[in-house]
Amino acid sequence: MLVLVAPGQGAQAPGFLAPWLDLPGVTERLKWWSAVSGLDLIHYGTEADAEQIRDTAVAQPLLVASGLISTLSVFPESFEGSGPVGVVAGHSVGEITAAAATGVITAEAAMVLVRQRGLAMAKAAAVTETGMSAVLGGDPDAVVKHLEKLNLTAANMNGAGQIVAAGTAEQLAALTAEKPEKARVIPLKVAGAFHTEHMAPAVSTLEDLVPGVTVHDPRTPFVSNSDGRVVRSGEEIVRRVVAQVSNPVRWDLCMETFKELGVTAMIEVCPGGTLTGLAKRALPGVRTVALKTPDDLDAARALVAEHVAHAE
């Protein structure tokens, strides 16, 4: 089984969209999505510096746009579900990419939703100086207890020995000074304590917005960050995507579900690398392709072709 996955915030890098503009139709599509979202995606994806694209209100639309552009490059006929793909999933904001990829919402709705998500989360993050740090290594249960002692939230349980802590700047400074046993702490380039109670105001904003979105059931089953469950209701997927803004991401449980379903291959859409890296450690034997530039498309298409042949 092939799984299509989409990365979350922090995967972006300056200029990462530039090589994709050489593909037919990409510039035109990005101009359209820029108009829809009210954000110049081409400028921010090709010319903006690291600090500019660190802005939550910018980073999130960029990630969804790049994810959908690369998905369309692999599946040019339609990205609303594909026979070779058994399940889809996204990490944090990547869930919006995944929802559009499997036809739950349109690309246009995804761009509006992610732009409003980013703006609302940036506004919530501005109330208090907050952030996130990755904790690598150590015993997972001991790490979580250590974070609780420091009043930090285990916001991302990513598996493969990686837990992301979120909280105030003071709490994160205390974590750097007092690391969990046998663990390293790396500050992340995100501008807020995402997936914690600090984001509750953003959830309220999105709850007021989504009733106007046209929603369909997914054409390909969707694995949810909430608990790793396979979800087949479009309305439930959208509800979970909104609630996830202030609740921890359980990517570890998503990978457990991939294992239970018998996933044998993974394609991570642009800017790929983070989720395939986790899979290499947590899902040994699963073949992976990370779409970083168009140079990676042939490998992704070959993987898809193999699964088409297997299905036949």
Give the integer Cα–Cα distance in Å for 111 and 50.
21
CA atoms within 13 A on the CB side of 125: 23
Give the helix/strand (H/E) hosting 73: helix 56-74
Q: Tell which residue, 88, 85, 16, has the closest CA to residue 270.
A: 16
Q: Tell which residue, 107, 13, 23, 11, has the closest CA to residue 68.
A: 107
248 in helix, strand or coil?
A: coil
Give the integer Cα–Cα distance in Å for 72 and 117.
23
Give the integer Cα–Cα distance in Å for 270 and 19.
11
Q: What does DSSP say about strands 85-90 and 2-6: parallel, antiparallel, or unpaired?
A: parallel
133 phi and psi angles, rounded to 5 deg: -140, 140
Q: Answer for the pair 85, 77: CB distance below 8 angstroms, yes or no.
A: no
Greatest CA separation found in the chain? 57
Give the integer Cα–Cα distance in Å for 245 and 45.
24
The CA-to-CA distance between both ends of the chain, in Å, stands at 13
What residues pair up with 166 in beta bridges, in sequence order?
132, 153
Fill in the DSSP letter of residue 300. H
Crossing angle for the helix pair 56-74 and 297-311, to the nearest 10 degrees = 50
Sign of CA dihedral 297, 298, 299, 300: positive
Which residues are the active-site residues?
A: 92, 195
